[in-house]
Structure 1
Amino acid sequence: MELSESLSRLSASVGVGFLMGLVRERNPGTQAGVRTYALVAMLGSVGAMLIDHGVQWLLPAGLVMLGAMMIAALHGRDASHDAGTTSTVAVMLCFCLGAAIWIGPVLPPVLLGLAATALLHFKPELEGFATRLKPADVRSILRFAAVSLLVLPLLPDAGYGPYDSLNPYRIWWMVVLISGIGLTGYLLLQLLGSGRGALFVGVLGGLVSSTATSLTFARQVREDREQADSAQVVILLANLVVLLRLAAFTAVVCPGALRSMLPVLGAGLAPGAIAAGRSYLRNGSRHDLGVSNPGEMLAALGFAALYAIVILVVAWLNDRIGTQGVYLAAAVSGLIDLDAIGLSTMHMVAAGTLTPASLAIAMVIAYIASLAFKFGMIAVVAGRPLAQRLIGPFALIAAGLLFGIAFA
């Protein structure tokens, strides 16, 4: 290993230890602070370094000795202090991260170190979050862990059915992706609170469900027309977040299509963001977002069935009438579920059966169809006060997307 790389790895190791120790130093009852954690990370790196020189025993011995030292330091403390389990685990983790930084790729252990630092720092918030969770929320988290960590690895990664278009692994992986984003948005609402203003609620509402968010605030306007301005902000932001989600899905599923997708999505996002910003500056009052937990198993299974159907329909239409069939499927599916058609067409791009340019056109068609459906729903539920405020911004978003398709 070259000297520059060695110094870089050692610096990263000390940096991770320093950050973890900086957080623990703020705890008055801690037995280890900045210097100790930095030294522990260095010890882990030195132990890993000596493996190349035949000293294989230092790493496991060092880990055992650290654990014993922490337990001995905590022995006999009075009951008013913390039991010290977190400190013991954190010190041992810091040692392992220092070793991992030296042995393998630097980024994964550094990210783990940052995550550990965040967990140590946000102790009060996490404890409050845990107490606010309902039993149904905990069950949803466990179900999501089951569908992602237990079910997904067992599914075959092969094509079945007509056109070999049904891949159980990929279908369920999309379920995990959608459910994970929705559940994350919902839990953030529980952790940070939903009364943080129209900006915060709109963005997180878009992560949970832009349709549910639009319907929720349309109902609020029906009950109280004075809320129309704030509802406009929330609904606009929730639907703009959908464009960001599409960009994120593209980056994950078929990153090669980003060059075609980003200019188009940006052309729709820009005028919508300007309209939302103007409305927010005019009225940024606080609201509660009343959406339900999206992590339920029935919702995940329903999306899996819908996604499989959309894949079959898109494959059949593409086989019968070519690319125009994909566009027809996008228009129909956009009325029901934008994620399903989006992920299925992205999968076709990744497989080489659809071009990135055709993907961008299909996404614009699906998004405009979805936007038209939501506007109709809002007009029926909330009436003119909210519909009149949204027709202009919705039209600007649609025009921007069409402009992006025409000139991108």
Structure 2
Amino acid sequence: MDWNQASTALFTALGLGLMIGVVRERAQPPHLLPAGTRTHALVALLGCTAWLLSPWVMVAVLLAVTALTVIAYRASVAEDPGLTGEIALLMTCLLGGLAAHQASLAAALAVVVAILLQAKAPLQKLSREWISEGEIQDILMLAAPALVVMPLLPEQPLDRWGVVSPMTVWKIVVLIMAVGMFGHFAQRLLGARWGLAIAGFFAGFASSTAAVTSMGQQARNHSALTIASAAAALLANLASLLLFVAVVAAASPALLQASAAAFAGAVGGLLLVIAGLLAKAHSNGGLQPQAGHGKAFKIQQALLIAGLIAGVSLLAAWLEELFGHSGALAAAIIVALAEVHAAAAGVAQLAAIGKLPVQVASIGIIAVLAASCLSKGVIACIAGGRRYGLLVGSGLLAMLAGALIGLLLG
């Protein structure tokens, strides 16, 4: 290693040691602080120098720092039984060693360590007061399918058409649960009126169907949130519609131009209903329930919706096999019952390669939207009950009506 690399490593180690040390020294009273700014800076330089000399020297230094840390802990355990300071000192040594060969990674990790150390009080309040026992159970229930089950599932499709794989179906289940969790905590932070709306809109870029389902669960758990949940579900569909337009634009600019008025009408109709629902939710603000009650999601409904999507995808693949290319448009409409963006991409691709005239493809785009509205209306009724389903359905119908008006006037 030349001088430039060594100096970069040493300066990085010194900087990260000072940063972690300052945070530790400000967090603890002086009489309870075995390692402050100078100690952390020296330990970081020690770790970096040791690694520059030899990995074996680094091992010896790490063992020595560990022994000193144990001695310091035994001396202060009566007044300060926590291990945060001791672990931070060992981490500083390791980051100093890491700076010797990956300075940027060491600096980034040091920032994370400093943030965690600085956020002691907020994190304690979060874990002890803010998150309820039921929410911890929900988090674990989400983590198990996402981190334990999903990596074990095969990605290869099980059917002969290659449209349904266990990994894909399970991702839908996890996504519906994650959207429900996101909406639940957004409601806690921002209130039902705005928290659900923000959560719904951003969830729509991932899956508007998952958002409709999870917001329906909110409405079923808290009837006072039905209007706010419906508005959030329609905001998810607005995000999905924007993504729908982007997919069409990428696949067939000519089709986008021909359907621009229809898309504008769809956005306008949807926004009109969303604005009305948000205004109504604002006027009913006093009816909001206290945060922290109810489950963030129901895994049974997530499994049901994922199963329905997989079944519709199989049906579309079967019909396309029966009717060949002439049935591609019909298959795309059926696919829209499960995945509207894939259906939109299919229609746009047919227009781009000349298998469908642009005018016919424009009608196909409206048909795809109609199929998607139908499926989401049914899902809304299943997930959130009749009133929620009617509110969501009214917004979807307004979107479809706006698209039809735009197509006729365009």
Which of 366, 381, 386 is residue 387 of structure 2 equivalent to? Answer: 381
SS at match of 2:75: coil
2:183–2:195 contact (8 Å) kept in structure 1: no
Partner of 2:334: 328
Partner of 1:313: 315
1:185–1:204 contact (8 Å) kept in structure 2: yes
> Cα–Cα, structure 1 residues 311 and 57, in superposed 2: closer, same or farther, change >3 Å?
farther
Deviations 1:24-52 (A, max 9, x none): 4442246345565566555555555x2xx
In the alignment, residue 215 of structure 2 is paired with which amino acid?
S
> Cα–Cα, structure 1 residues 381 and 284, in superposed 2: closer, same or farther, change >3 Å?
closer
Deviations 1:133-158 (A, max 9, x none): 23xx4444334333233333332332
Return the offset for 1:210.
2.3
Which of 210, 219, 222 is residue 215 of structure 2 equivalent to? Answer: 210
> Cα–Cα, structure 1 residues 139 and 213, in superposed 2: closer, same or farther, change >3 Å?
closer
Partner of 1:196: 191
Deviations 1:169-206 (A, max 9, x none): 333344334433433444x36xx836735112433467
1:212–1:291 contact (8 Å) kept in structure 2: no
Larger radius of gyration: 2
Partner of 1:338: none
TM-score after normalising by structure 2:
0.62
Give unpaired runs (5+ residues) of structure 2: 204-210, 353-360
Query: In structure 2, what is the Cα distance between the partners aligned to 1:40 and 1:363?
Result: 63
Deviations 1:344-385 (A, max 9, x none): x39x98xx9999x999878744653366558889995389xx
Query: In structure 1, what is the Cα distance between the partners aligned to 2:38 and 2:272?
Result: 50
Partner of 1:117: 115
Query: In structure 2, what is the Cα distance between the partners aligned to 1:185 and 1:302?
Result: 20
> Cα–Cα, structure 1 residues 205 and 116, in superposed 2: closer, same or farther, change >3 Å?
farther
Equivalence map 1:3-402=2 (5 Å): 20-21=20-21, 23-29=23-29, 31=33, 32-33=35-36, 36-37=39-40, 40=43, 44=47, 50=52, 55-77=54-76, 79=78, 81-97=79-95, 99-100=97-98, 103=101, 106=104, 110=108, 113-114=111-112, 117-118=115-116, 121=119, 122-129=122-129, 132-134=132-134, 137-186=135-184, 188=185, 193=188, 196=191, 198-204=193-199, 209-215=214-220, 219-220=223-224, 232-233=227-228, 235-241=230-236, 243-244=238-239, 268=267, 271=271, 275=275, 279=279, 283=283, 285=285, 287-288=288-289, 291-294=294-297, 296=299, 298-319=300-321, 320=323, 321-331=327-337, 333=338, 341=339, 345=342, 364-365=369-370, 368-369=373-374, 372=377, 381=387
Query: In structure 1, what is the Cα distance between the partners aligned to 2:398 and 2:368?
Result: 17
SS at match of 2:285: coil
Query: In structure 1, what is the Cα distance between the partners aligned to 2:27 and 2:194?
Result: 34
1:233–1:276 contact (8 Å) kept in structure 2: no
> Cα–Cα, structure 1 residues 110 and 202, in superposed 2: closer, same or farther, change >3 Å?
same
Query: How many residues of Structure 1 are paired with residues of Structure 2 in the alignment?
Result: 365
Return the offset for 1:64.
3.0
2:312–2:334 contact (8 Å) kept in structure 1: no
Query: In structure 2, what is the Cα distance between the partners aligned to 1:268 and 1:102?
Result: 54
Query: In structure 2, what is the Cα distance between the partners aligned to 1:40 and 1:14?
Result: 9
Query: In structure 2, what is the Cα distance between the partners aligned to 1:114 and 1:312?
Result: 45
1:162–1:312 contact (8 Å) kept in structure 2: no
In the alignment, residue 127 of structure 1 is paired with which amino acid?
S
Return the offset for 1:111.
6.5
Query: In structure 2, what is the Cα distance between the partners aligned to 1:376 and 1:150?
Result: 32
Query: In structure 2, what is the Cα distance between the partners aligned to 1:293 and 1:46?
Result: 50
Return the offset for 1:163.
1.0
SS at match of 2:55: coil
> Cα–Cα, structure 1 residues 327 and 142, in superposed 2: closer, same or farther, change >3 Å?
same
1:100–1:106 contact (8 Å) kept in structure 2: no
In the alignment, residue 374 of structure 2 is paired with which amino acid?
A
Query: In structure 2, what is the Cα distance between the partners aligned to 1:112 and 1:371?
Result: 46
Query: In structure 2, what is the Cα distance between the partners aligned to 1:24 and 1:152?
Result: 39
In the alignment, residue 275 of structure 2 is paired with which amino acid?
A
Moved more, 167-176 or 114-123: 114-123
In the alignment, residue 279 of structure 1 is paired with which amino acid?
A
Return the offset for 1:309.
1.7
What's the RMSD between the two structures over aligned residues? 5.6
> Cα–Cα, structure 1 residues 376 and 164, in superposed 2: closer, same or farther, change >3 Å?
closer
TM-score after normalising by structure 1:
0.63
Query: In structure 2, what is the Cα distance between the partners aligned to 1:400 and 1:26?
Result: 59
Deviations 1:380-407 (A, max 9, x none): 5389xx96x995x76665577789999x
Moved more, 367-376 or 85-94: 367-376
In the alignment, residue 315 of structure 1 is paired with which amino acid?
A
1:204–1:238 contact (8 Å) kept in structure 2: no
Query: In structure 2, what is the Cα distance between the partners aligned to 1:380 and 1:342?
Result: 24
SS at match of 2:161: helix
